Amino acid sequence: MEKSQRTNELLVAGVKSYPEALIAIDEFRRVLLGTVRETVEHNLKSIATAMGIKLSASEIQKRLRPTESEVGRDNAAIGVTIRRDAEGWRQYYQFYWEPDSSFSFLASVWFREVDATSTSTAVNKVKCRYTVGFEDNEVFMLRRVTTGEIGRVKDVLGAFMREWATFWKRVGGLKRLKSMR
């Protein structure tokens, strides 16, 4: 098949399906984003207490990737963020897709400055139900989500967020890691 014929077939298919595809993607994002936001808000007090900081639902901002200017599957994510750039950290709560199309939920705190060795040691000492780690100035917890769990994703996220709070309690809060600089 010639390139111009393939291009023509793509355009014909796109003309027919583009509006419906946009509606489906928008609805998918809206539902997942709403679920993440609601779950983070519901667990915000226990997370803030475990981290030893004050957090407010008014600080929660949406995080959607790719943006309109980005193309491709790299870093596809739907979630929320809390940014405290003046204090040197950002929190992320998001669903994201790996290059192999696996679907996971990730909670993380990125630090502008942190002692990598001490932070890695502190994080790796904590036992958790989910994968935890430290990479590129970011402390993270990761949980794969199976297609069979999608129907009860609020429960899955709720359990994950409770484990995230427990993790921070065991670490000793943000101040402990920030004091290791």
**43-75 pLDDT, tens digit each:** 999 999 999 999 999 999 999 887 766 666 567
Domain ranges for the chain, please list them.
Answer: 35-178
Model confidence pLDDT, tens digit, residues 73-95: 567 899 999 999 989 999 999 99
Full strand arrangement of the beta sheet holding 61-65: 61-65, 77-84, 89-97, 103-111, 138-144, 131-135
Per CATH, which fold does 35-178 belong to?
A: Yope Regulator; Chain: A, (3.30.1460)
| DSSP 8-state secondary structure symbol assigned to residue 141 | E
Determine what percent of the chain falls in helix, strand and coil, rounding each to the nearest 5: 55, 25, 25
What's the pTM value of the predicted model, to 2 decimals? 0.85
